[in-house]
Amino acid sequence: MPINAVGREVPSEINGQKFKPFAGDMKTPPEGRRAGSLLRMVPESRSKVVSSLEEVIKKVGLEDGMTVSFHHHLRNGDYVVNMVMETIRKMGIKNIRVFPTALFPVHQPLVSMLTDGTIRRIEGSMNGALGEATSYGEMRETAVLRSHSGRVRAVESGEVHIDVAFIAAPTADPYGNLNGVDGPSACGPLAYGMVDAYHADHTVAITDHLVPYPAHPISIFQHNIDYVVPVDKIGDPNGIMSGTLRITTSPSRLKIARYALEVIDKVALRDGFSFQAGAGGISLAVTKFLGDLMKKRGIRASFINGGVTKYVVDMLHEGLVDVVFDGQAFDLDAVKSLKEDKNHIETPLAMYGNPYSSGGIVNMLDVGVLGATEVDIDFNVNVNTHSDGMLLHGIGGHQEVAAGSALTIVTVPLYRYRVPVIRERVTTVTTPGEVIDVVVTEHGIAVNPKRDDIIEALRGSKVPIYDIQDLQKKAERICGKPQEPKTTDDIVAAILWRDGTVIDVVYKVKK
Amino acid sequence: MKLRRTRLYVPGNNPHLVENVGLYGADCLILDLEDSVPITQKFDARILVKYALQNVDFGNSEKWVRINSPDTPFWVADLNEVVPYVDVVNVPKVESYEDVEKISKIMEDIEEKHGVEKIKIVPIIETLKGLTNAREIAKHPRVVAMAWGGEDLTAELGIPKKKALILDHVRAEIVIAAKSQGKMALDTVYSNIRDEKGLFEYARRARYMGFDGVGVLHPNQVEIVHRAFKPEDKDIEDAKKIVEAAEKAMKEGKGVIALNGRMIDKPVLERARKILAFAEVD
Amino acid sequence: MVEAGTLEKGDARVVITDADKREIVVKSKLERLYGDAVRKTVEEMTQGINANILVEDMGALDWVIRARLEAAIRKFRGEEE
């Protein structure tokens, strides 16, 4: 197996498909043309409503071995994935490739479908029980994990062809116009579903809020939707929305947020700057503190890309930022603002960070603040596996935000309980050190040596600056050296860089 | 000059809270064996604190332990575990010079056995008796600072703590008792950890009352208190001039320090030095 | 039977009960990463103690485990609480 640019041995063939080893960001140019979906004839009826999932699955002609896709806007409140997959299982259709934008703990029922022959593999982020089952080798084929934008690229390039896209729609009309801002299961944007709607051979909207034609506003347009299936409920609002997201109260996490703020202040804060917001505890704190600082200094941002929460919406409404780009809404304030404020813009995921496009939002970002499970002394980041080798998280937008932002900050505690976060070598490389600029811990920060300009800008700052090796040693001194993961040589998952090259693999964990 | 603007209380039997104490920049860190530890956990806590004192990075902070008060059955055992590893023993409910002496004697034996230097004591005055003896207590050579608490005092007087008008008098008495012996005076905690503005005003008030620091319950309070104790720019400028004049006078072998034609007295010079010490904050 | 410590995150609980010979049971939240390290510490600190020793580790640092072990051992040897 070839060794890639971050020193990992990776296969050149996965599930019978050829892949190149990771060569560095923007080092592998694209080939070919954008892939398309089937052309279709306008339906005879003025209604695309089909009464049951079983009926629609028959109509689209889903067969053994095909690929079905889902979006994850309903997050851990989603009913649609389980509902569709259970119907497929009951109909006796086998060997399905499931291609979600992400799966959550609520999708645990799919675990049994890995062994009963319904699912041959999942290509997408798996949080929780599915990741665990995959780690133990219960998936027949190899899982493939891509970032949000990497997934868009895979669809557009034809690396993955979707036979049927099942699109959860909080609001739909009978002719297939969809939005996510109204209805009992409102989730905000439908950004993750758009690529699938354009590129799948067959598209099915599933809704619990059928409204008279035309539904409006429109996120996904009627000419891309073949069928509309009304059901009782597409999700549980408590799992879709996070409730009021609270800023971390942990003093050590707040300390990390304050150090990150100081770095942003010294390096990037100026009128018209832009940043990526998120919903993690530290990220939320950074957003809030940044808003306070901007107010104090009289600074206005040009845009925030989110991961939109109440904290971002407040900044928009206080005039601290001109535009909010919204690919995902985390609370009802964000949904309401998306619906009502013209400066709060729903962005298709294809516009986010696809490296094989004419440029995404991430390429205009000044500051990205990201989390990690582990970081190593080469600044490589792992967000996929735990230190014991278990695959438990997806990539999200980590890769493209890191690659695109002018200043990429990774905020992590030095250790979590007894587990060191700054390691000699990460268990799995998700994002290469070449696109990480600053690592911020509660003990101090480390700056990637290739960023002299940042070290210079931080001169005279109160934040303690260390060599990353010293932070790693400090973590090991406090925690002791952990045991190596007990894994076999069997590859259970491949981690792709956003350009489709293989950056790392995940091995089967011994029970 | 050693500053004691903030002393952060950390419950002694909670490893997760104890292990990060060095991060928050408090001048003093108090691992608490008293109020934050239930009676059934006293034994475990003093051993955990003993290990914490030896294994946790305290940064530049002074290491304190608040032991149980001399009227409990726990205080001697507390001292036995912690004295070899601590900088300051914080003693609640001290009522007399004899109380301090009693503790000091026990500490002496432990210090001798372990070959460590004399450990400092900061008594907490919490009763009317303690208050009447405060000036005597402050004279004990091990005492480097004096703190106080209002709970028992107001209970003794039968008045609600929040409304007690006498507390400002108590504060004044503590400051006078401590300062007249050249010791530090330390104000009690501000318990509403969410009220940042209130804390700042509280700490400012403590400073103008003559205190050298206040107790803090949450790491987020540390920076706010340090800001409150930071002297105004104008005072820092004046202090610099006074100290420079003193240094100049010393170099030239002059007995009298003069600045702009005026003589500088010793307490004024001392105050100037103190202002500069307090000025060196983040 | 004596015990020390808690089952809070980052802590460890030690239970020692009478027995004819030493028997150590370690249940660690971080078994895959620190199981061996915890067992080594327990082994080392309980030399010569003929009792059943149960350690439930909630992700505690080594010095915390040592503190909890020392507390339990001293209680087991009859020190007053």
In chain B, residues with a C-beta closer than 8 Å to the C-beta of C75 are 43
How many inter-chain contacts (A to B, CB under 8 Å) are there?
18
Residue C17: the pLDDT is 97
Query: With an 8 Å Cβ cutoff, are B51 and C64 in contact?
Result: yes
Query: With an 8 Å Cβ cutoff, are A417 and C37 in contact?
Result: no
Residue B163: count other Cβ atoms within 10 Å of its Cβ: 8
How far away is chain A from the Cα of B38, in angstroms, using its nearest Cα?
23
d(CA B18, CA A108): 38
- CA-nearest residue of chain B to A442? B23
A328 in any annotated domain = yes
Touching check for A477 and chain C: CB below 8 Å? Answer: no
Touching check for C10 and chain B: CB below 8 Å? Answer: yes
- CA-nearest residue of chain C to B53? C63
d(CA A96, CA A162): 11
d(CA C64, CA A164): 54
> Could you tell me if A82 and A171 lie in one domain?
yes
d(CA A330, CA A347): 15
- Interface test with chain A among B6, B10, B20, by most A beta carbons within 10 Å: B20
Residue B282: the pLDDT is 43
d(CA A376, CA A424): 5
Nearest CB to C4; choose among B14, B44, B55: B44
How is residue A470 written in tokens?
A: 């010293």
Can you give the three-state secondary structure of A64-119, one letter per residue? CCCEEEECCCCHHHECHHHHHHHHHHHCCCCCEEEEECEECHHHCCHHHHHHCCCE
In chain B, residues with a C-beta closer than 8 Å to the C-beta of C79 are 43
How is residue B27 written in tokens?
A: 């001048």
In chain A, residues with a C-beta closer than 8 Å to the C-beta of B23 are 251-252, 255, 442-443
Average pLDDT estimate for A359-376: 96
Structural element, H or E, at residue C37 = helix C31-45
Intra-chain end-to-end CA distance of chain C, in Å:
14
d(CA A313, CA A341): 10
Strands A178-179 and A171-172: antiparallel
> Could you tell me if A195 and A338 lie in one domain?
no
Average pLDDT estimate for A388-408: 95
In chain A, residues with a C-beta closer than 8 Å to the C-beta of B219 are 251, 254-255
In one letter, which amino acid is A182?
D
Residues of chain A above pLDDT 90, percent? 94
Instruction: Give the total number of structural domains in chain A.
Output: 2
A381 in any annotated domain = yes
Instruction: Write the DSSP string, chain B.
Output: ----SEEEEEETT-HHHHTTGGGG--SEEEEESSTTS-GGGHHHHHHHHHHHHHHS--TT-EEEEEPPPTTSSSHHHHHHHHGGG-SEEEESS--SHHHHHHHHHHHHHHHHHHT-PPPEEEEEE-SHHHHHTHHHHTTSTTB-EEEE-SHHHHHHHT--GGG-TTHHHHHHHHHHHHHTTT-EEEEEE---TT-HHHHHHHHHHHHHHT-SEEEESSTHHHHHHHHHTSPPHHHHHHHHHHHHHHHHHHHTT-SS-EETTEEPPHHHHHHHHHHHHHH---
Q: Return the closest-CA partner of residue A111 out of A147, A85, A84, A142.
A: A85
How is residue A392 written in tokens?
A: 């438990």
DSSP state of C35: H
How far away is chain A from the Cα of C24, in angstroms, using its nearest Cα?
20
Indicate whether this complex's ipTM tops 0.95.
Answer: yes
Residue B99 has pLDDT above 60, yes or no: yes
> Could you tell me if A330 and A450 lie in one domain?
yes
- CA-nearest residue of chain A to C61? A418
Residue A462: the pLDDT is 86
Residue A203 has pLDDT above 80, yes or no: yes
In chain C, residues with a C-beta closer than 8 Å to the C-beta of A479 are 61
> Could you tell me if A351 and A220 lie in one domain?
no
Evaluate whether C60 touches C3 at the Cβ level (below 8 Å): no
Residue A385: the pLDDT is 96
- CA-nearest residue of chain A to C35? A483
Residues of chain B above pLDDT 70, percent? 99
> Could you tell me if A222 and A362 lie in one domain?
no
> Could you tell me if A396 and A480 lie in one domain?
yes
d(CA A282, CA A250): 10
Residue B188: the pLDDT is 96
CATH architecture of B6-228: Alpha-Beta Barrel (3.20)
Give all domains of chain C, ordered by start, each with its CATH number: 2-76 (3.30.230.10)
Average pLDDT estimate for C4-27: 96
How far away is chain C from the Cα of B272, in angstroms, using its nearest Cα?
44
Name every residue in B having a CB less than 8 A away from some CB of C.
13-16, 19, 40, 42-44, 47-48, 50-52, 54-56
Evaluate whether B269 touches B246 at the Cβ level (below 8 Å): yes
d(CA A136, CA B72): 56
Query: With an 8 Å Cβ cutoff, are A482 and C9 in contact?
Result: no
Average pLDDT estimate for B87-96: 98
Evaluate whether B31 touches C54 at the Cβ level (below 8 Å): no
A144 in any annotated domain = no
- CA-nearest residue of chain B to A254? B220
A394 SS3 class: coil
> Could you tell me if A265 and A316 lie in one domain?
yes
Residues near B165 by Cβ (< 8 Å), separated by ≥ 6? none
Confidence of residue A244 (pLDDT cuts 50, 70, 90): low
Instruction: Write the DSSP string, A423-481.
Output: ESS-SS-SB-GGG--EEEETTEEEE-TT-HHHHHHTTT-SS-EE-HHHHHHHHHHHH-P
A13 in any annotated domain = no
Query: With an 8 Å Cβ cutoff, are B282 and A462 in contact?
Result: yes
> Could you tell me if A433 and A302 lie in one domain?
yes
d(CA A429, CA A380): 6
Residue B253: the pLDDT is 82
Strands C12-18 and A444-447: unpaired
DSSP state of A31: -
* Segments forming the whole domain that contains residue A319: 251-485
Touching check for A479 and chain C: CB below 8 Å? Answer: yes
Residues near B160 by Cβ (< 8 Å), separated by ≥ 6? B154
Average pLDDT estimate for A127-132: 91
Q: pLDDT tens-digit profile of B106-122?
A: 999 999 999 999 999 99
Q: Which residue has the tokens 């304050």?
A: A258
> Could you tell me if A310 and A208 lie in one domain?
no
Evaluate whether A157 touches A189 at the Cβ level (below 8 Å): no
Residue B177 has pLDDT above 90, yes or no: yes
Residue A185 has pLDDT above 70, yes or no: yes
A270 in any annotated domain = yes
Residues of chain A above pLDDT 70, percent? 100
Confidence of residue B162 (pLDDT cuts 50, 70, 90): confident
Residue B251: the pLDDT is 87
> Could you tell me if A333 and A463 lie in one domain?
yes
Residues near B237 by Cβ (< 8 Å), separated by ≥ 6? none
Virtual torsion, Cα C1, C4, C5, C6, nearest 10 deg:
30
The C-alpha angle with vertex A409 and arms to A147 and A338, in degrees rounded to 5, equals 60
Residue count of chain B, please give it: 282
> Could you tell me if A265 and A344 lie in one domain?
yes
In chain B, residues with a C-beta closer than 8 Å to the C-beta of A255 are 23-24, 219
Query: With an 8 Å Cβ cutoff, are B220 and A462 in contact?
Result: no
Evaluate whether B103 touches B121 at the Cβ level (below 8 Å): yes
Residues near C34 by Cβ (< 8 Å), separated by ≥ 6? A418, A480, A482, A483, C28, C57
Average pLDDT estimate for B253-276: 85
A468 in any annotated domain = yes
Residue C48: the pLDDT is 92
A262 in any annotated domain = yes
Query: Which residue ranges make up each domain of chain B?
Result: 6-228, 233-279
Average pLDDT estimate for A188-207: 97
Nearest CB to A417; choose among C9, C36, C37: C9
A179 SS3 class: strand
Give the CA radius of gyration of chain C. 12
- CATH number assigned to the domain comprising residue A101: 3.40.1080.10
Query: With an 8 Å Cβ cutoff, are B220 and A252 in contact?
Result: no
Of A239-248, A418-427, A497-506, B1-10, the range with the lowest mean pLDDT is A239-248
Q: Which residues of B5-17 are buried (b: 16+ CB within 10 A; e: fewer)?
A: bbbbbbbbbbbbb
**Of A240, A273, A299, which residue sits at a domain end?**
A240
d(CA A79, CA A399): 28
Average pLDDT estimate for A127-138: 94
Residues of chain C above pLDDT 90, percent? 96
A277 SS3 class: coil
A7 in any annotated domain = no
State how far the alpha carbon of B41 is from the alpha carbons of A8, B86, C3, in Å: 50, 21, 11
- Interface test with chain A among B19, B21, B23, B196, by most A beta carbons within 10 Å: B23
